Structure 1
Amino acid sequence: MNKSDVETTEKDTDFGRQLAQARKAQNYTVEEISEHIKIPVHTISVLESSDLEKLPAPTFAKGYIRAYAKFLEISEDEVLEKYSLAVPRDEESSLRPRSNLPGEASSQSPLVKSITMLLIIAGIAAVIFGSFKYYQEKAGAMEGELDNRAQSYTGSSLDSPAINPSETEQNPGLSGDDKLLVGQLDSSEDMSAATDEQDVAAVAGDTDNEERPALESEVETVTEEEIVAEQAAENDIIEFFAENGSWMEVRDANNARLFYNMVPVGSTKVIVGKAPFSVTMGNAKTTRVVINDLEVDMTGYIRPNNTAIFRVSTDGQDIIIQ
């Protein structure tokens, strides 16, 4: 093997150089990479130097390489291929599980697969049965409560027989059997007067009943409007328009997390809280941000990997972003 072949082989197996070059091209430090992919700084340095002796077992090393390459948006398979060429074959094979137990069943054997499938089915059935029993008992309890409430109305004025006003005397008496004695009015004039008085009282009662809900409704409306006005005055509003979708995390001035999720393609997300808002987002180039009806220009905060991290608030008609 001549000198050029040796240099070519070393270049093909130098997986760490490719990772380091990609990191530097995107202006990332080792510490920033460690913070994003949750890999220790020491391990990242060992990966970039292709130091196989200091790297962990191939299984873990491949996981680190895959996460690193994915974050830098370079080909994971290409870097892993260089790593595989650099790792000695005997080192990879030494990590494969071996067993000296005779007749030990493999995890790929039909028996193990069948038992595993039965356990999974039994677990699912147990969950379904438990859920059914829970909701059945809950429905029974609710039905019993409704029955008790219905019985509580028995004997109320709604079920009592109506009494004809014309048959009622002003001072009724009680018989020996404690039954109400109802006498007849002495004259048709008294009957007519009593009927007129009851009609006037009924009309007055209906008028009061019609006016009372209207007044209560006005009071409730005024209260709701005051509450909405107070909330709008105390809080800030930030809106996100995700043309191609965007994952994001939003925190308020007290560092309380207000949102941590994916905004679907073409959707709008409105968040109410106390500014300044701390925003971390992806697909930043195709996402618009508006705070308190003022559009935010975040061009200077968009990173090479199309993410953005910034804090934003308003001062009157001015936007403060940092």
Structure 2
Amino acid sequence: MSEVEHHSATQESSAPSAGERLRAAREELDLSSIDVAKRLRLKHYIVEALEQDNYDVLGGAAFVTGYLRSYAKLVGIDGELLVRDYRPAVIEQELLPNIDYRRQRSLGNWPMRLGTLVVVGGLAGLLAYWWVQQGADGVNVFVAAQADGPASVARVEEPLQTLPDPRDVQVAPDLPADIAPAPSTPLAEPETDPAPLPVSRRLLLRYSDDSWTEVRDATDKQLVYGLIKAGREIEVEGEAPFEVFLGYGPGVSLAFDGVSFEHQSYTRRDSYVARFVVDDAQSGEIAVTQQP
């Protein structure tokens, strides 16, 4: 390794982490970690975990990103630099375990598939054996009938059906011409109103920054779940109302059935987390309400 490369690697290894920079900035302002927790309206252990780079106890990447930005804004440093330093850890800790889990899940299904194939194969074998036996019985009967002689043919005599004497048949008297059988009137089936079909609505999400996103429709169907990267645009369809959770509310803009609406009033100022419900109001306009 050259002397320049060794110097660059030494600088990278000695660069302070996000938690160290937050703690140093706090100490320069002569603030305690308890003071920071009170001003940000956070629990004290969250502030300590941020300064120790212990992100596993903070509940996911969306929350950590919001906490880092809020803390950095309080102590006067650039929160986006902290978020960029934190994102490589998110990719390694969240995306790779999901891939391993799916692989383990697919590998764990092979005993069930093998058992199903064995059962189906056994049933097919029994059906083939029964079919062969039925065919064999028919052949044996045919050969036994031919063994009596080359020209003998087995015949089965059936008794002839005797026809009744025409004198014993009674004919119904003819009805007068003015009396005719009443025509049969089909019964009218009661009309029932068809059940109304659910109306599918559209929700469009545009991302100017990374944000954890969860969206459910009125049937509690999960439409979006995961960390969405900046620059993406996602449109989902479902039955309204939609329950929306955004880990970083300012980084997402929304439109309901093609009509944009503001959700900033439902975004917390301390963590930038947003929870709300989107539906139609009685007047036909978009109704956005706070999710409990």
Smaller-chain TM-score bracket? 0.3 to 0.5
Taking CA–CA contacts closer than 8 Å with sequence separation of 6 or more, which of the two structures ends up with the larger relative contact order?
Answer: 2
Report the structure, 1 or 2, having the larger helix content. Answer: 1
Q: TM-score, normalised by structure 2?
A: 0.40
Q: TM-score, normalised by structure 1?
A: 0.37
